[in-house]
Each structure stands twice: as C-alpha cells, then as structure tokens.
Amino acid sequence: MAPQGSPAPLEFGGPLGAAALMLLLPATMFHLLLVVRSGPARLLGPPPHLPGLDALWSPRALLLWLAWLGLQAALYLLPARKVAEGQELKDKSRLQYPINGFQALVLTAVLVGLGVSVGLPLGALPDMLLPLAFAATLIAFIFSLLLYLKAQVAPASALAPGGNSGNPVYDFFLGRELNPRVSFLDFKYFCELRPGLIGWVLINLALLTQEAKLRGSPSLAMWLVNGFQLLYVGDALWYEEAVLTTMDITHDGFGFMLVFGDLAWVPFTYSLQAQFLLHHPQVLGLPMASTICLINAIGYYIFRGANSQKNTFRKNPSDPRVADLETISTATGRKLLVSGWWGMVRHPNYLGDLIMALAWSLPCGVSHLLPYFYLLYFTALLVHREARDERQCLQKYGLAWQEYCRRVPYRILPYVY
Ligand SMILES: NC(=O)C1=CN([C@@H]2O[C@H](COP(=O)(O)OP(=O)(O)OC[C@H]3O[C@@H](n4cnc5c(N)ncnc54)[C@H](OP(=O)(O)O)[C@@H]3O)[C@@H](O)[C@H]2O)C=CC1
Ligand SMILES: CC(C)CCC[C@@H](C)[C@H]1CC=C2C3=C(CC[C@@]21C)[C@@]1(C)CC[C@H](O)C[C@@H]1CC3
C-alpha cells in the first residue's frame, strides 16, 4: 500500500539511524545482562566474555517465553470490568479495548503463587535471563516481520502517520500499521502493558527469591527495588485506560522499536537494579532507606498527580477537581491546562518519573555506574520523547501551543530545562 498525503518527516536518524538502533538496542541489552553478573560490573567496560550460541539459545527458554505470551494473551481475552473506546481514527471509527490489565496482574500473581506452592522453581529464572532475552529478541524480530507483512494488505486508513516512508528498514523499525489486531486482540495495546511490564516484576520477584535462597533473606535494598517497581507497574495497569491517549497508541506504528521495547527491553533491562543487587549485595541503613522511600514518594506524587490531572481534564473539563484551573483555548476546541501541575513545566509527569528512576537506583549504592543505566537511558528517552510530543502539539495546536510555551517556558525541570 503506497503512503498517502505529504510524507511525515523521518525520525530517529532515518533509515541509517533505524538500522543502527536495531543492532545497538539488542547489543546494549546483552551487554548489560553480561556485565551485571561480572565482578567489576562496569557499565562502560567490555563484557567479561562473549557468550557462545549454547549460552544464548535454549528451546526451553523459547517455549517458556511463548507460554508466557500465551498466558498473558489468555488473561487479556478474559471478561473485562470495562471496555474502553480509543481515540477517533482517520476513518472516524473508534476501536474497543478491554480494561483488565490489573486483573491480569493479580491473576498472574495467584497463578505464580500456586505454582511456587507446588514446586515451580522461580529461583531458577535468574540463571535463564540470557537465553530468555535471546528468545524474546528472536520473537521480536519475527513478530515485527509478520506485522510488516500484515501491513502490506492493510487499508491506507489503518496506516500510522510515520513508518510509511517507503524505505523497508525504516518502516520495519517504526511500524507501518497503527493498530494491528486480530479480532479483539490488539497487539500493540496488549504488548505495551502486559507481557513486558508483568514479566519485569516477575523477574524482580525471582531475583528476590534467589537472593533469599543464597543469603537467608532478601536485603532491604532488594525489597525497596521490588516494592518501588511493583508500585510503578501496578499503577500503569490500574490506570491502563490512560495508555490509549499516549503517542505510542495514537501516533506510532507497531514495528520493531515498540515490539522489541515491550517484549525484550522492558523486562530484561528495567530489572537491572534487582539483577545488580543479586550479584553485588548492598548494605542499606534505615535512615538512607527512609530517604530513598521519601524520594520515590515525591516522584510518584508528582507523576500520578500530573497524569491524573491531565486525564481528568481531558475526560471532563468541568470536573470539580480541575474546573478551577486556568486554561488556554485552541482552534481545535480542546483546551490546554496552564496552571496546576501543567503550569509548572510542560511535562511534569516526566519529572516525577525521573525522580522515581533515581530512587530505584539509589538502593544499589554509589560504587557503580551500572545501576544508574536506567536513569541515564530514561533521561535520554524522555528528552527525545518530549521533543517529539512538542512537535506534534505545535502541529495540532499552532499559536495556542506557542502561547503555552511562552507562559510555561520550562519543559521538564523548572528553571533548568
Ligand atoms: N517507563 C517508561 O519507559 C516510560 C514511561 N512513560 C510515562 O508514561 C506517561 C505518559 O507519557 P506520554 O505518553 O509521553 O505523554 P503525556 O502523558 O505527557 O501526554 C502528552 C500529551 O498531553 C497533552 N497535553 C500536553 N500538555 C497539555 C496541557 N498543558 N494541558 C492538557 N493536555 C496537555 C497533549 O495531548 P492532547 O492535547 O492530544 O491530549 C500531549 O500530546 C508519563 O508519565 C511518562 O513519564 C513514557 C514513556 C516511557
Ligand atoms: C527500546 C527503545 C529505546 C524504546 C522502547 C520504548 C518502550 C520501552 C517504551 C515506549 C513507551 C512506553 C511506555 C511505558 C513502558 C515503556 C514503553 C513501552 C509505560 C507503559 C510505563 C508505565 C507508565 O505508567 C505508562 C507508560 C506508557 C509508555
């Protein structure tokens, strides 16, 4: 299907950038998985050894990851407490999405609990991370290829604004179809929240279990990392409906970037701090632990406050919780908040998220840079994402957006950026 209308500007450095990222992202993930278990655990040093194919390839790991995807897909298809409508599409239709992500998290916890009580060796998972990550990467490449082929027969109205440049490498990376689905199973929405996010907290739990086995009990640092990240994932699934308005769902196609990000990058690199703690135990005193909890609480307060304020406002601007906030009118009929959290900086939710990212690394001490990888990567991701969002908002809201930028000059960090 030929791309329609004026071509969207190329992002991520065009085809060359896309090709480089397709190599760099898996390479970085494997580098992290290898160095985290090495003695020096140097983020920038070479890995202790290069694994042979026998260390990477395991049919058992592939089957396990496929079974995991199958289980999460089955939980997705269970009756939901609510069915939400997505944003209006090019053809004026709206897709329907089940809101049962939190239910999937709870049911997974129950199933894992039952499994462990009858001898499921959860503690064996940390030793399988390398072959599991390899299986997830293979699945990501094959799945992205199938999605690319599926898009060849999709109607033009189903294609994403980006990801249809005509260059196969670029389009494979960004994704051609906006909302690929088979019947009620929406692949992008499913992958964004379920297998990766729930897989991440399950890997964390396995690392905690293994630490308890090795050292008698989990360390305070491991409890904090598990608790903070469980709160983050639980929150994402509780407020699942909010993901329907993110640029990933409304703007980006579903290609290698998101498929790999959701299925491999999130579970295997976002669990880096817990992996680090298993191999490099840290002693954490109560005063430091309390300070870190306070930092996480402040981050969460800003993150949740900002996200909820915008979501409430977008759902119903006359809701008493947001009705008093100052706004700017736009030509589209929608308004922009210019006081409250969104009057402080233009992306207060990113600020809260970054503060939490800091709190997740601090339990790992300050002797290594490696556990701070997430904070560094996430800062780069959010700065880039903020710039992409601003471009899209300028296109959508024109002068009103310029006025908003004038009234709220800082993007993420007040008086700094
Ligand atoms: N852990 C991770 O890896 C990641 C986490 N995140 C988190 O996910 C959450 C969602 O982030 P993201 O999808 O990037 O986008 P946002 O939730 O920040 O949404 C941006 C959109 O909000 C609307 N908006 C912007 N300014 C205003 C305003 N002043 N008043 C009203 N509406 C406004 C615009 O859409 P419109 O006007 O059309 O409503 C804009 O496109 C964030 O908390 C982020 O930190 C994001 C990426 C990765
Ligand atoms: C591998 C690449 C560098 C980029 C991959 C990006 C993805 C990992 C992220 C893109 C947007 C995401 C969002 C979330 C998780 C990470 C990805 C998939 C959340 C679900 C995290 C929890 C928040 O509450 C909502 C987020 C929405 C966006």
Give me the sign of the Cα torsion angle 37, 38, 44, 48.
Answer: negative
pLDDT band at 3 (very low <50, low <70, confident <90, very high): very low
Question: How many angstroms separate the CA atoms of 377 and 375, rounded?
Answer: 6
Give me the sign of the Cα torsion angle 290, 292, 295, 297.
Answer: negative
Ligand 1 near 303 CB (within 6 A):
yes
Q: Which of 235, 269, 271, 336 to mutate to test the pocket of ligand 1 (most atoms within 8 A of CB)?
A: 336
- How far, in Å, from the CA of 115 to the mean position of ligand 1? 38
Instruction: Give the count of beta carbons closer than 10 Å to the beta carbon of residue 263.
Output: 25
Of all protein residues, the one whose alpha carbon is nearest to atom 15 of ligand 2 is: 192
- How far, in Å, from the CA of 412 to the mean position of ligand 1? 12
Structure confidence by residue, pLDDT tens digits, 133-173: 999 999 999 999 999 999 999 988 889 988 888 899 999 99
State the ligand closest to the CA atom of 255. Answer: 2
Are 410 and 345 in contact, with CB atoms under 8 Å apart?
yes
Instruction: Give the count of beta carbons closer than 10 Å to the beta carbon of residue 407.
Output: 14
- The letter for the amino acid at 220 is L
Structure confidence by residue, pLDDT tens digits, 335-344: 999 999 999 9
Structure confidence by residue, pLDDT tens digits, 103-119: 999 999 999 999 999 99
Structure confidence by residue, pLDDT tens digits, 304-338: 999 999 999 998 999 999 999 999 999 998 999 99
Which residues is 376 bridged to in the sheet?
none
- How far, in Å, from the CA of 105 to the mean position of ligand 1? 24
Structure letter (DSSP) for residue 127: G
The SS3 call for residue 187 is helix
- How far, in Å, from the CA of 211 to the mean position of ligand 2? 28
pTM of the full structure? 0.95
Question: Which atom of ligand 1 is found nearest the CA of 378?
Answer: 3
- How far, in Å, from the CA of 285 to the mean position of ligand 2? 32
The SS3 call for residue 319 is coil
State the ligand closest to the CA atom of 385. Answer: 1
Are 109 and 116 in contact, with CB atoms under 8 Å apart?
no
Ligand 1 near 307 CB (within 6 A):
yes
List, in sequence order, every beta strand (DSSP E) within 300-383. Answer: 327-329, 335-337
pLDDT of residue 40: 85
Domain boundaries, the chain: 13-41+54-87+94-283, 285-417
- How far, in Å, from the CA of 246 to the mean position of ligand 1? 6
